[in-house]
Amino acid sequence: MREKIKTFFCLFIVCICMGLTVNADEAIRVYVNGKRLNNSVILSGDRTYIPLRAVGEAMGAEVIWEEDSKSVYVNFTEDDMVAQTAYDVSPSVVSIIGNYKSSSESAKYNNPTIHGSGVIYKSNGYIITNAHVVKDITNTTVVLNDGSSWPGDVLFSDETADLAIIKIYKLGLIPIKMAEPESVVSGKTAIAIGTPISMSMRNTVTKGIVCGNNVTVSDSYYKLLQTDATINPGNSGGPLLNIKGELIGINSSKYTGMGIENMAFAIPVDTVIYAISQFESYGKILRPDFKISLEQSWEAKIGLPTNKGLTVKQFDGANLKEGDKVTAVNGIEVHSITDWNEALKNTYNGKDAVVSYIRDGVQADTIIYG
């Protein structure tokens, strides 16, 4: 009968044969899914050996030693990994609660308070959430994973990007790790943590996949991530994570209606990083005012792939005119209004932009200012 041994066994991934020269090297650092292991490391030639139990348990696996048969069993499932990820990341997830600014709103919902979720991104108290979470509340309070409450100051809120930054005055917090934007692809596991419906449900977990990235919906200024991880009121502002516990997005909205199931959306990590960078540099997100009105094709309006550019409907200047077809901005092709916004997000220098356009069949470039 197999028996789990509670004491720590230094079981090695491969057996070290008799006569093999090995050296312990405490200077070597070993990370598993971004988490450093505090175990001795043995070097043998060009190979590094560390305890099997340390690696297995760091990955959320169950490691069992059977004394009678001198056997090691490593049992690992995705459920183990999701549970470990949720456990590791929960200290970086907060609840945000406050009072309605409007007494009519309080009466409408028969509740004096409103709440959402947020994510710590700096250890000295900086938290990212949705702008709509903090829009209509006063007496903003942040509830940490340990249950302690701290007054929060809203330092930044951008309704266009639907992102806001709150500051609490506490040190030593555990910040979330940001995923590399290019690592976020359709089909990978997505884990949502937040406070849906009630404060009694703080840091509850749902799991799904990334259904699509670079998704455009009717009211989105930038592109979004689509996920089927269950999102409910109160999850807004909380993290969408990959299996390694890295932030891939900020949960923001969902579709509801007859025949619609599990269509939720998150603000991608690249937009989150962009908003934080803009806040730290300028205190706000710099957006141009080119005094231009553009119209996208009918294909772009309904989400069909298209090579068509944007039609100039109005421009307050001499270098573009009504009917011109804009094909690129700052060297990035644009086929929809969201493409235009994304291109400027990634390239706008605060002064001008180079616009490529077609007029009477002739391609040309011009600079517009704003």
Residues acting as catalytic residues: 132, 162, 236
Is residue 156 within 8 Å of 215, Cβ to Cβ?
A: no
- Write the DSSP symbol of residue 52: H
Strand partners, 32: 35
The dihedrals phi and psi of 115, each to the nearest 5 degrees, come to -145, 165
Q: What DSSP string describes 206-259?
A: EEEEEEEEEE--TT-SS-EEEE-S---TT-TT-EEE-TTSEEEEEEEEEE-STT
Q: Which helix (H) or strand (E) holds 107?
A: helix 103-108
Of 362, 302, 298, 308, the residue nearest 340 (C-alpha): 308
- The neighbour count for residue 216, using CB atoms within 10 Å, is 18
Of 142, 242, 238, 230, the residue nearest 193 (C-alpha): 238
The 3-class secondary structure across 267-304, one letter per residue, is EEHHHHHHHHHHHHHHCCCCCCCCCEEEECCHHHHCCC
Of 346, 309, 345, 303, the residue nearest 328 (C-alpha): 309
Is residue 328 within 8 Å of 355, Cβ to Cβ?
A: yes
- The neighbour count for residue 237, using CB atoms within 10 Å, is 32
Q: Is the dihedral of CA 204, 210, 211, 217 positive or negative?
A: positive
Whole-angstrom distance, CA of residue 194 vs CA of residue 245: 14
> How far is residue 315 CA from its own chain's centroid?
36
Q: What DSSP string describes 303-320?
A: T------EEEEEESSSS-
